[in-house]
Copies of this chain bind each other. A is one copy, B any other.
Amino acid sequence: MAKKSIVVMKFGGSSVANVERMQNVARRIVETKTKNTNVAVVVSAMGDTTDEFEELAFKLSKNPPVREMDMLMSTGEQISSALLAIAVKELGHDAVSFNGNQVGIVTDTNHSKAMIQTISGARIKDAFKDNKIVIVAGFQGMTENNEITTLGRGGSDLTAVALAKALDADVCEIYTDVTGIYTTDPRIVKEARKLKQITFDEMLEMASLGAQVMQARSIEVAKRFNIPLHVRSSLSKEEGTMIVKKLEKIEDICVTGVTLNKNEAKITICAVPDKPGIAAQIFDEVSKADVNVDLIVQNVSRDKTTDISFTVPKSELAKATAATRKISDKIGAGDVLEASNIARVSIVGSGMRSHHGIAAAMFKTLADNKINIDMISTSEISIQCIINKEDAEKAVSVLHKAFELEK
């Protein structure tokens, strides 16, 4: 008998939002199982469960304790995993659900955003021996002292990837409501093309730059342990996009996708004295205000001062500006300006590093279309431009065309 392959299948909340969808997911699971495969499924909370729990908790307290929030939130995934096990059994295949505690997912004690430390996986392997399909409640773990923890938003992806590692799975399938990763958002550019393959690094850029299919943290873990991810739709059987270490063949295409993020705002400190350690001082102060700074741009100085600009999530603009004003006064810098009508448009591609002229082509395309560039930043595999929000969709569209991504 051929050795059984092991597949981890992860289904998000919208895939199990009601009885019909849950039955559909159960059929998908059984189809995979019947291909001489051991199947471990990771499932998120049904539909809006998580939001409903949060609403209840915030009605009781403006600042509910994180330990109790984890007790509360973790039930959402336990509910959906038990129901999914019932649905699978109804199809005549033996199934068993486990919560984070039962499956042996040990985390640190950092409630609401715990880090996985170890996964035993012993109970899953035992269940595999009994030919059972295993349904695991995503998003949760347990500390060594038997306290329930959750892994933060998108944590079910992380559960799936970590389980794939613990079980030495052949592939980790991430089922979503899209059919894969596209060259750009199909709602903006109708010629957007589904990618057959993408590298972890490209996907990380895509994820952090606004293509919200998978959480960056999970992709990083998959990359570290080289676990192939397959992003695909729970509603269609077509193949999705494989996320892999290296593309199978060196493709001629060097730009893989165009991404857009409209959830950022920009802060500029003018006339910052050009002294060593000044940037450190600024961002130390901003991080103390619990603000997530993303893009930072500082140009060469002129007249012994320089301007420093950075972006923050729009929701954190007020506290970020306050913190920045405080440090600006302290270091004797000039005005602090804020702008929220910005967008970040980026091109991403592993091939980029070995091709010249990509950046120039991007800037020329934007210029030809009268789109002004406010800030620029580059990484090994991306070029990012902050532009006016009003130009965002147009920028995505013309860049997608310029780099011939529809082909």
Contacts and interface: CB of A to CB of B under 8 A. Distances in A.
Contact of A71 (B60, B81, B87): B81
A89 B61 contact: yes
A397 to B, nearest CB: 44
Interface of A: 19, 22-23, 53, 56-57, 59-61, 64-65, 67-69, 71-72, 74-75, 78-79, 81-83, 85-87, 89-90, 96-97, 99, 101-102, 146-148
Contact of A65 (B57, B61, B68, B86): B86
Identical copies in the complex: 2
Contacts of A19: 56, 59-60
Nearest to A63: B90
A24 to B, nearest CB: 12
Q: Which of A59, A78, A82, A148 has the most CB of B within 10 A?
A: A82
Contact of A67 (B22, B53, B75, B96): B96
12 contacts: A19-B56, A22-B60, A23-B60, A56-B83, A60-B83, A60-B86, A67-B96, A68-B86, A71-B78, A71-B85, A75-B82, A102-B147
A168 B314 CA distance: 55
Contacts of A75: 75, 78-79, 82
A-side binding surface: helix, strand, loop or mixed?
helix
A67 B81 CA distance: 12
A105 to B, nearest CB: 13
Contacts of A60: 19, 22-23, 83, 86-87, 90
B79 A53 contact: yes
Contacts of A148: 99
A250 to B, nearest CB: 48
A83 B89 contact: no
A60 B18 CA distance: 10
A74 B99 CA distance: 12
B68 A72 contact: no
A71 B61 contact: no
A85 B99 contact: no
B56 A68 contact: no
B82 A72 contact: yes
A104 to B, nearest CB: 9
Given A22-B60, A61-B87, A75-B78, 17 more contacts: A19-B59, A57-B82, A57-B83, A60-B83, A60-B86, A64-B86, A65-B86, A65-B89, A69-B82, A69-B86, A71-B81, A71-B82, A71-B97, A72-B78, A75-B75, A101-B146, A102-B146
Q: Which of A75, A96, A148 has the most CB of B within 10 A?
A: A75
A63 to B, nearest CB: 9
A57 B56 CA distance: 24
A107 to B, nearest CB: 15
Contacts of A67: 96
Contacts of A57: 82-83, 86
Contacts of A96: 67-68
A242 to B, nearest CB: 32
B90 A68 contact: no
A71 B43 CA distance: 14
Contacts of A59: 19
Contacts of A81: 71
A56 B65 CA distance: 30
A53 to B, nearest CB: 7
Pick the 10 closest A-B CB pairs, nearest first. A71-B82, A75-B75, A72-B82, A61-B90, A64-B86, A19-B59, A60-B87, A68-B82, A68-B85, A60-B86
